[in-house]
Amino acid sequence: MRLLILSPISPLPVFTGGRRRLFHITQEQARRHEVTFLSFFRNEEEREGLHTLGKILGIRVRMVPFRSLKRMFKGHIHWDIARIARAHWRVRRQQLPPDIAIWDQPAMRRALTEELSSHTYDILQIEWPYLASYALQDHLPPTVLITHDIFSVGLTRRAELQTNARKRKQLMRLAQNWIVYEQIIYPRFTRVAAMSTKDAAIIQQRAPAAKIIISPNGVDAQNICPGPMRSQVRRLLFVGSPTHEPNLDAACWLVKAIWPKLYTRHPYLSLTLLNLDHPRVRACSANMPRIQIIGRVPDVLPFYHQADIALAPIRTGSGTRLKILEAFAAGVPVVSTSIGYEGLHVVPEKHLLVGDSPEALIAAIERLIDSLSLREALVQHARTLVEKAYDWRKIVDDLDRDYIEMLSTP
């Protein structure tokens, strides 16, 4: 197959779950198909990442600079300013999410048109819903939207946790704008790829005419080996991206509502917040004992191997969490909220332990502290699960079957 992938970001460097998925899926697709990667870049790091992507995967990469309105005014790109201004007006008039206008950039539209007129593609694969407007035009090959998240769900959950009435109202209004947009865009794609059956049900409810496939997140189970199982629990780990609001919320909830009580009972424990060197997290963690905050690292696997328990205290967001699958593959027992493992085919008490309140999460952690055999059983079942169901190669096998079926259907 000849695939054209349209992306808002470079997969490299990998430091978020979305980038990790994008890299591994593209890597596996490049082994099997003829792939062209068309992407925005926002800075020199992302531009260099796209160059590296093309070299290591042996694919053609085309880059388009992402321009904010401020940068356009500086560069006197008046035609593009006018186009985006009209897009902002249309978005406001139709009560759509404001992000849609800024991502709908004339330079990317020109690049996409040139690609489609100069090359023949079997499928246009669009990553993330805020690029969906590029599919709202004629003369496209079959189109697939990779959702990653359902933004309206994540915004609604954030609103439910918000104590400030004005901010809660703003979030609910933005969530409603996304619902309207989702209802518009989902049916326009040949297929919509959901991260889980739960996400698929929400998409179907939003847009009954949408044709949905399941393409879950995964993990490189073949190349990640389980780490050692120590007899005593000493180190807890939470991995998250500082650019993703659910991770910031989870980190602050963890250090303010959970850690003080847990540390008082078990003062030998330490907590590492990995990839979360963010002002908000630092402010939440101020004066908290035995908390280590670490920024971006080139490889998270050594930190999983040093950890005795991995935490996923997620309260907002949607989609599925790669951090849980990574911990499963790395042989680390997991304690999660219900939202944290949402959409994954896991069984509480078999693959992980679950708690949705500070007290329940502390109780689950203490069960693991007290029982080596429980930790060993969870790790064994979790590792078997990712090997069977969540390796990237299997996920692309399934995606290929869906694409072949799609192309054979009139």
DSSP-assigned states of every residue in 360-385: HHHHHHHHHHH-HHHHHHHHHHHHHH
Asked if the structure places residue 225 within a domain, the reply is no
Query: Cβ contacts of residue 24 below 8 Å, gap of 6+?
Result: 218, 220, 392
Asked if 141 contacts 157 with a C-beta cutoff of 8 angstroms, the reply is no
Which of 143, 151, 142, 72 has the alpha carbon at shortest distance from 105?
A: 72
Note whether 146 and 85 are same-domain residues. Answer: yes
Identify the domain containing residue 290 by its residue range. 235-389
Note whether 264 and 205 are same-domain residues. Answer: no
Asked if 383 contacts 18 with a C-beta cutoff of 8 angstroms, the reply is no
Count of structural domains within the chain = 2
Alpha helix stretches (DSSP H) within 2-77: 17-32, 44-57, 69-75
Which of 12, 16, 14, 71 has the alpha carbon at shortest distance from 37?
A: 12
Helix (DSSP H) and strand (DSSP E) numbers for the chain: 17, 13
Residues of the chain under the 50 pLDDT cut: 73, 76, 88-89
Q: Give the global pTM.
A: 0.92
Asked if the structure places residue 152 within a domain, the reply is yes
Asked if the structure places residue 151 within a domain, the reply is yes
CA–CA gap between residue 201 and residue 207 (Å, rounded): 10
Query: In CATH, what number is assigned to the domain containing residue 58?
Result: 3.40.50.2000
Handedness of CA 151, 155, 156, 161 (dihedral sign): positive
**What is the total residue count of the chain?**
410
Q: Using DSSP, state whether 89 is helix, strand or coil.
A: helix
State the pLDDT at residue 92: 54
Asked if 145 contacts 132 with a C-beta cutoff of 8 angstroms, the reply is yes
Note whether 183 and 104 are same-domain residues. Answer: yes
Max Cα distance, the chain (Å): 66
Query: Model confidence over 188-211: pLDDT tens digits?
Result: 999 999 999 999 999 999 999 999
Note whether 342 and 200 are same-domain residues. Answer: no
Asked if the structure places residue 307 within a domain, the reply is yes
Which of 35, 46, 41 has the alpha carbon at shortest distance from 4?
A: 35
Query: Model confidence over 355-410: pLDDT tens digits?
Result: 999 999 999 999 999 999 999 999 999 999 999 999 999 999 999 999 999 999 87
Asked if the structure places residue 224 within a domain, the reply is no
Note whether 76 and 103 are same-domain residues. Answer: yes
Cross-strand partners of 41: 65
Token pair belonging to 405: 């079926």
Average pLDDT, the chain: 93
